[in-house]
Copies of this chain bind each other. A is one copy, B any other.
């Protein structure tokens, strides 16, 4: 049975957690998104359908928000997300979205703002940081070496780092402060998510389908600032090249589809920018964006 007319939408509005899940799904659907998996581009070892399964797997944890704590929600969402064969599909996207989901729960529907996002992060505890470390046990995540003197807090140690977290009294907010210089999502979380809210505005203002708007917002965000994941996985020069060429594509001077093919071939995937777009989609949906 297939469409013959628009739905009446009677009696049914998506809840906050559904908007969070939908944001994950719409993010990976948008195309072209040079370097990342999208609905037109599988990577060899990471398929579009695995991102779909990741978003389905994360749902029960998202649905329990705002209980338990934001850190535990994140850890459980990552555990659920990892129940597919692709590995890490949405660790960063969940890190971008889950605090915003908690922020949305603090206020009336449709009123999500940077202050609420900041307040959620500021209120985090050592237990939230511990949960964040445990999330690394569910899936391999590419991160940089920790700064000197912080080896005991290397996130890749997972649960083994927990005694050090307790000893130092490190909160999730404190951890994000430490990570902000190296990780664009952490930088967002400690500053009220300015790029995320800007991306949401761009998506809401855009013309065409939601996922076309999201893909354009991705390109603009990639053109505006270097992707920290590319910088971590490759180097500063590559990240700057990616930013410059995204700017060219956003201005029409380079074809985004060709750029996508080249980035995939060179193993360049600007995941942090995609994570921020996932956050932006959640904000846009919470503010009433229709799909």
Chain A: residues with CB nearer than 8 A to chain B?
1-15, 18, 21-22, 25-26, 29, 36, 39-40, 42, 45-50, 52-53, 56-57, 59-60, 63, 79-89, 91-92, 95, 137-143, 183, 185, 209-211, 229, 269, 271-272, 274-275, 290-291
Contact = CB atoms under 8 A, between A and B. Distances in A.
B7 A84 contact: yes
Contacts of A91: 1
A207 B82 CA distance: 22
Contacts of A46: 2-3
A229 B2 contact: yes
A4 B141 contact: yes
A142 B3 CA distance: 7
Interface of A is mostly: loop
B49 A10 contact: no
B21 A49 contact: no
Nearest to A11: B79
Contacts of A211: 47-49
A45 B4 CA distance: 10
Contacts of A3: 45-46, 86-89, 140
A128 to B, nearest CB: 18
A233 to B, nearest CB: 8
A76 to B, nearest CB: 8
A85 B291 CA distance: 6
Contact of A59 (B18, B81, B87): B18
B1 A53 contact: no
A53 B10 contact: no
B22 A48 contact: no
Contacts of A79: 10-12
A50 to B, nearest CB: 6
